[in-house]
Amino acid sequence: MADLFKFETVVPEAFRVMAAVGAGRALDGERIVSPVSTVRRRCRDAFRRTDLLSQLIPAIEDVLAAGGLPVPTTPEEAQPVAILDPPGGGDAGHRG
């Protein structure tokens, strides 16, 4: 599933970071100390900005449907959600 989304999120961020490192310049005002950490943070931000999580389940359903496989149903023995996740009161970068 990650391959379906990586060219929209991970790859551009990784190239931006490495281009800045190669040029020895800051990226968006941030001095890059650890390229790996910087890519991870920028990817996290891109996932939130693009609302990636809300796209995953429909994408899985589309992939299953394309292969002619039925979408799985919830098993009888499945437990209901134990802790409901109420809508957050903060901005998109903060929980709760």
Measured distance CA(48)–CA(93) in Å, rounded: 8
Would the pLDDT of 95 be above 60? no
Would the pLDDT of 4 be above 80? yes
Joined together, the tokens standing for residue 55 give: 């796209």
Measured distance CA(32)–CA(17) in Å, rounded: 8
Give Cβ neighbours of residue 37 (< 8 Å, ≥ 6 apart): none
Distances (CA, A) of 87 to 14, 53, 90: 31, 15, 9
**pLDDT tens-digit profile of 36-91?**
999 999 999 999 999 998 998 899 888 888 878 777 788 999 888 788 777 666 66
What is the pTM for the complete model shown?
Answer: 0.65
Output the pLDDT for position 89: 63
**pLDDT tens-digit profile of 11-27?**
999 999 999 999 999 99
Long-range contacts of 60-66 (CB under 8 A, 24+ apart): 60/1, 63/1, 63/4
Output the pLDDT for position 92: 61
Would the pLDDT of 96 be above 60? no
